[in-house]
């Protein structure tokens, strides 16, 4: 890709995982509401808020694709915050992408958009003998208002795909940690996503061709209740890590 990739929420955990893994493979335009720190490149860094339509329109100028991560990431975030930062912010990003003629947006959704599927299945759903899988075709069942906002973002992506032809992939991100997964936490192991696999997955989101997709962002764990088949088939996702590798730890 010759044009820059706009990465919103670049200073957050997912943004840092992406830049750690594939930072040298793209020309990035980084956007965050806070100024860059010493460990982030600052040559094309935009300090802006995704809820500001004018600032987002300016940030889109000349870019070829968008990875949209920005928003309030707190599972316990109150409604006024997720409405403004996550729902209004996602709409502003999709709208600006369409108006700028950008063809592809990768949207960071969350496991919290479907967290209520776990309610009557724990703890078996986290164990290797259980074959229950969510594959992205199921309806959202949010576990909190943050999850509601992510489900709304997925629906906004569907709207902008259907009505404006925007290619959108929604990545329901699991439990991203740097280093080993939480050893004594079955749920965390089942939805673990390594930094390496996270960067690779978003690389595939930028390189693959698709219309509208919902995929799961986890590593290839022995414990899992998210299917990786759609991410493999559509994106060419090939995760290298597995939370089971750390069992002895």
Show me where the domains of the chain are located: 5-246
Q: According to the model, what pLDDT value does residue 139 have?
A: 96
If we measure between CA atoms, which residue out of 131, 218, 140, 240 comes closest to residue 173?
218
pLDDT single digits (tens) 136-154: 999 999 999 999 999 999 9
Tell me the average pLDDT across 46-52.
95
Tell me the average pLDDT across 167-183.
93
List alpha helices for 165-221, DSSP H: 186-190, 195-207
Catalytic residue among 26, 117, 126, 146: 146
- The CATH class for the domain spanning 5-246 reads alpha beta
Judged against a pLDDT cut of 70, whether residue 42 lies above it is answered with: no
pLDDT over 70, % of the chain = 99
Residues in contact with 172: Cβ distance below 8 Å, sequence separation at least 6, in sequence order: 109, 110, 111, 113, 114, 136, 150, 214, 215, 216, 217, 226
* Backbone CA torsion sign across 90, 91, 93, 94: positive
Catalytic residue status for 216: no
User: Would you report the helix, strand and coil content of the chain in percent, each value rounded to 5?
Assistant: 40, 20, 40
């Amino acid at each position: 890709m010759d044009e820059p990739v706009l990465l919103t929420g670049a200073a957050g955990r997912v943004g840092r995982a992406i830049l750690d893994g594939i930072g040298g493979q793209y020309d990035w335009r980084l956007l965050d509401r806070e100024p860059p720190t010493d460990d982030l490149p600052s040559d094309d860094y935009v300090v802006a808020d995704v809820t500001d339509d004018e600032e987002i329109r300016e940030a889109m100028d000349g870019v070829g694709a968008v990875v949209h991560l920005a928003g309030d990431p707190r599972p316990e975030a109150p409604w006024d915050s997720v409405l403004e930062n996550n729902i209004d912010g996602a709409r502003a990003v999709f709208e600006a992408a369409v108006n700028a003629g950008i063809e592809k947006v990768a949207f960071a959704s969350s496991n919290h958009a479907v967290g209520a599927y776990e309610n009557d299945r724990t703890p078996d759903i986290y164990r290797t003998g259980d074959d229950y899988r969510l594959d992205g075709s199921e309806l959202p069942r949010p576990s909190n208002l943050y999850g509601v906002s992510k489900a709304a973002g997925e629906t906004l992506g569907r709207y902008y795909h259907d009505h404006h032809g925007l290619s959108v992939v929604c990545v329901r991100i699991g439990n991203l940690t740097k280093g080993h997964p939480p050893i004594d936490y079955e749920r965390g192991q089942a939805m673990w996503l390594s930094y390496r696999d996270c960067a690779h997955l978003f690389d595939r989101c930028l390189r693959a061709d698709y219309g509208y997709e919902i995929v799961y962002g986890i590593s290839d764990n022995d414990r899992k209740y998210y299917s990786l088949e759609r991410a493999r088939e559509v994106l060419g996702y090939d995760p290298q890590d597995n939370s089971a590798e750390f069992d002895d730890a």
